[in-house]
Structure 1
Amino acid sequence: MTSSAVPPNRIAVIGGGGNVGAAAAFALIAKGVPAEVLIVDVVDKAAQGQALDISDASFLKPGTCRKASFQEAGQSDVIIVTAGARQQPGEPRSNLIERNYKIIKSIMDSMQPIKPSAKVLMVSNPVDVLTHIAQKASGLPVNQVIGSGTFLDSGRLRNTLSEITGVSPSSVHAYMLGEHGDNQFTGWSAARIGGRPLLDHPKMQGVDLDSINEKIMRKAYDIIDAKGSTYFGIGICAATLAEALLNNTSQVFPVVNFVEKYGCYMSWPAAIGASGVEQAFDVPVNAAEAKKLEVAVNAIKEACAKYD
């Protein structure tokens, strides 16, 4: 710890000894989030090493970083879960469910009793299903347990559309929806730039929309094939969501949240704040998108049913 005062708010990163967890923890410090960041991992030496390294980056920022126990994590304001089996090159995220179920259940049991006001942010894959599992195992209300969902996928989409249109990614309002996995789809019907439909933009005329969708879906596989895993992009996404939960920003993100209309956890836009999910939104979809949404919802429900 490099600061004379420990911040009053606490964010725990479970699996912080690994690449994704360390990237999220570092992003929290680099973003200047005023919180005590706890690194928790079953590999104690890895947790210690990451905590020491990240704490060296905190002397210019208001946050602090240290290694901690699962019990301390359970009493944190925000709990980011990145632990789990790693996706192998070419492996669909759905294959990870069985391997990660026991890990997530063990983590939630190890943190008990979990602080009643805590918010859990799942990052481990397949995140839609594991968020469902984490909510059941944690005992927290559904609005307090969310997942990173298609936030990163939507960022990839916005970057791609920015390159095509010449408009800043922050001004492109478009989402990947349904599932953070092979059943995700682009919500073209709801996409907007400057309040106008994205597809009406002159530079979008004649663009192959299916190829864009495929590019976004395949990017993670390309990164995994090239370097073994993805962590910088998802790290900044996790830190941004944790910051929103901690600071009650009520920003809208495409995250895994329980959508009453469809009766399951899924990747869908929601306003995130101090209570977790503050508001849910009914995103318009056309007939083709509705069919893709049905496929995604059914796949998530089928997988979740095995763990109820």
Structure 2
Amino acid sequence: MASVPKQRVSVIGGGGNVGAATAFSLIAKGVPAEVLVVDVVDKAAEGQALDISDAAFMMPGICRKGTFKEAGQSDVIIVTAGARQQPNEPRSALIDRNYKIIKSIMDSLQPIKQTAKILMVSNPVDVLTDIAQKTSGLPRNQVIGSGTYLDSGRLRNALSEITGVSPTSIHAYMLGEHGDNQFTGWSSARIGGRPLLEHPKMKEIDLDKIYEQIQRKAYVIIEAKGSTYYGIGICAATIAEALLNNTNQVFPIVNYVEKFGCYLSWPAAIGCDGVEQSFDVKLDSEECKKLDSAINAIKEVCSKYN
């Protein structure tokens, strides 16, 4: 029998669509880790783990159902569990419900491995990452969120269609809050070392229309099939892979930025210690105003959960 990989990644909420897509993505990407599927609904976790394990027979990783205690001793803990916003429910009520869920999860994980990294995927991710850090007891650099990584991927896909350049060669970010207060960092966007907006095919493009397209895409998917999970699943798996393999890749993720005094979606290099460094981003005056709005909105909510 093959040996169990030395690294472990646990997916909390793995019985659901987002959690299962994340666990499957870890296996499909060939991450050499033991992937634990953990969920309060034991049967759902078992079913997803058994199904995903069938895809692992030619991969270096393995997948099985795990417990919260086992998850607490993982190298990377990915949290996809959380309450969904109900029709006409205010955002404040959703956060209150998710605060209780996240606190309960962190309590169930104790004692948490001191070198563990927590990756929050549950929404509203900026606020819940702050709550996870406070309730887990881990240092800020070891608790991050998926943030605007997926939104930035959608942006790069859209720009690729316009410019004819691979999305991986376009450096452009959605920044701020993952939600109503996110914005596009057009001033910092680059392609081939030059400002993106100087590209000939960007001259007549309606930038607001691109932004609206990115903002609406999740709603279009949800209206068509009920929920989104493949995109965020591969994003979460890619971030986890970077944490395990110490790649120091830069992602627009939720991380604590000292000069702003809060968690928000901002470019950071991540490795085996979590956030290795955060970066300054060139913004114009209008983008700075949008950044301030995002920071104020996040701080206002987070202050209620000290």
Scaled to the shorter chain, the TM-score interval is over 0.9
The alpha-carbon distance between structure 1 residues 57 and 251, as it changes in their structure 2 partners (threshold 3 A), is: same
Distance 1:70 1:49 in 2: 17
- 1:33 is matched with 31
Distance 2:87 2:227 in 1: 9
Instruction: Return the letter of the residue paired with 1:145.
Output: V
CA displacement 1:254-300 (0-9 Å, x = unmatched):
00000011100000000010000001101010000000001111000
Q: How does 1:1-308 map to 2 (within 5 A)?
A: 4-87=2-85, 96-308=94-306
The alpha-carbon distance between structure 1 residues 285 and 90, as it changes in their structure 2 partners (threshold 3 A), is: farther
* 3-state SS, counterpart of residue 305 of structure 2: coil
Relative to the length of structure 1, the TM-score reads 0.97
The alpha-carbon distance between structure 1 residues 109 and 220, as it changes in their structure 2 partners (threshold 3 A), is: same
Instruction: Return the letter of the residue paired with 2:196.
Output: L
The alpha-carbon distance between structure 1 residues 228 and 88, as it changes in their structure 2 partners (threshold 3 A), is: farther
Distance 1:189 1:92 in 2: 33
Instruction: Return the letter of the residue paired with 2:64.
Output: R
The alpha-carbon distance between structure 1 residues 301 and 114, as it changes in their structure 2 partners (threshold 3 A), is: same
Alpha carbons 1:92, 1:181 under 8 Å: kept:
no
Distance 2:191 2:182 in 1: 21
Distance 1:92 1:270 in 2: 31
CA displacement 1:162-219 (0-9 Å, x = unmatched):
0011100000100000010011000000000000000000000011111111111111
Distance 1:90 1:159 in 2: 32
Q: CA deviation at 1:86?
A: 2.4
Q: CA deviation at 1:228?
A: 1.4
Distance 1:32 1:90 in 2: 42
Structure 2 runs not aligned, ≥5 long: none
Q: CA deviation at 1:96?
A: 2.8
Distance 1:87 1:250 in 2: 34
Relative to the length of structure 2, the TM-score reads 0.98
Query: How many equivalent pairs are there?
Result: 306
Q: CA deviation at 1:222?
A: 1.6
**What fraction of aligned residue pairs are identical, expressed as a percent?**
79
The alpha-carbon distance between structure 1 residues 203 and 88, as it changes in their structure 2 partners (threshold 3 A), is: farther
Distance 2:86 2:157 in 1: 26
Q: CA RMSD in A?
A: 1.3
Structure 1 runs not aligned, ≥5 long: none
Instruction: Return the letter of the residue paired with 1:162.
Output: S
Distance 2:114 2:18 in 1: 26
Structure 1 residue runs of 4 or more that deviate by more than 2 Å after TM superposition: 86-96
Alpha carbons 1:253, 1:269 under 8 Å: kept:
yes
Q: CA deviation at 1:223?
A: 1.3
